Amino acid sequence: MFTFRRQQRVCRIGGVAVGGQPEENPPVLIGSMFHKGDRLLHSRLGKDFDRTGAGDLLKKQEELSQQMGLPAMVDLVGNTGDELKAYIDFVAGATSVPICIDAWKLGPRLEAARYAAELGLLDRVLYNSVGPWSEDLEREVATLGEIGVKHVVLVAFDMDDQMPAGRMKCLARLLKALRGVPLESILVDTSVMNLPATAFCSLANYQVKKRHGLPVGSSPANGTYMWKEARLNWEEAGFAGVDAAVHALASVLWHDFLFYGPLVAADRIFPAVAAATAFQATLVYGEGGGLPASPRHPLNQFFAGFAGQLSARAGAAPGG
């Protein structure tokens, strides 16, 4: 159930490992900035934002990443190329984590990718994303090859078949379209449509790993933030519990990465996912799989005594 026979691909983006067998690498947590409603934004037209506040949030995510043993990235959301360029300039100098370029329109995405190439940042830039809604998929793919983009997210979703099988059909089409492009990393996002449908993402993720061995994840925050009643009925504390719980569940169930929404949520998401990751590693062991090798994996970092007992029982060296 948790250990795959097919070899699992591990992609390395700016020093961050994504993918592999479930116990191999903890899930990567990706927080967003400059999304709609982000309080950091003063004006999109003027590319004006709270630089002190943005820097503080980036620093907090890095601190939590180190404390929890969970790698991190940051997703930059913009509507225009100029806007994204301003965000890239700031964030590339404010943090060392990989950067995701995120725009709904094709033009701004490609413009930002070209700019990242000019700055020599493509090793740490994740293009987010190529999907079924592309205005011109053939041109987009050709331009990515021309620019030299190395790391790409594919969004797998089929409006006509919203079950896991539809996501697999969409992924097959996208992989076919990308043939011939010399990418180093392909990450698959199985597209959350609402909170309970995140379960379909987990089922699709299992199939992606089983059939293709690619790193796969989704954006549980899309579902939790859409459930407005959680805040209305149970206020902020209730919503925070829902948000943390859904991300923890997703991280156990075949997610190599999670887009967790605004960076301000990092305080609750990182501890929840760290606990869930230790839980998952123990499930893998109980199923007959291995134990995490990295001493920074949450199981080894926070439950070293227990991990040592499991390792000794398995007849392996501690942490191995």
Could you give all domains of the chain from N- to C-terminal order, each with its CATH number?
Answer: 10-269 (3.20.20.20)
Strand partners, 76: 33, 101
Q: What is the chain's mean pLDDT, rounded?
A: 95
Over the Cα atoms of the chain, what is R_g? 19
How many C-beta atoms surround the C-beta of residue 196 within 10 A? 10
Per-residue model confidence as pLDDT tens digits over 97-146 = 999 999 999 999 999 999 999 999 999 999 999 999 999 999 999 999 99
Q: Give the C-alpha separation, 156 to 79, whole Å.
A: 22
Entry pTM: 0.96
Strand partners, 218: 258
Q: Give the C-alpha separation, 320 to 253, whole Å.
A: 23
Closest C-alpha among 288, 308, 236 to residue 23: 288
Q: Are strands 41-43 and 99-102 parallel, antiparallel or unpaired?
A: unpaired
Kindly tell me if the per-residue pLDDT of 290 is higher than 80: yes
Secondary structure of residue 28 in the 3-state scheme: strand
Strand partners, 187: 153
Kindly tell me if the per-residue pLDDT of 316 is higher than 70: no
Mean pLDDT for the stretch of residues 160-169 = 96
Please tell me the least confidently modeled range out of 40-49, 228-237, 286-295: 40-49
For 5-36, the DSSP string reads: SSPPPEEEETTEEEESSTTTSPPEEEEEES-T
pLDDT computed for residue 320 by the predictor: 40
Q: Give the C-alpha separation, 39 to 4, whole Å.
A: 42
Q: Half-sphere exposure of residue 94, counting CA atoms within 13 Å on the CB side?
A: 20
Kindly tell me if the per-residue pLDDT of 67 is higher than 50: yes
Per-residue model confidence as pLDDT tens digits over 203-258 = 999 999 999 999 999 999 999 999 999 999 999 999 999 999 999 999 999 999 99
Judge whether 131 and 155 are in contact, CB under 8 Å: yes
Q: Dig out the tokens for 247 from the structure.
A: 């991300």
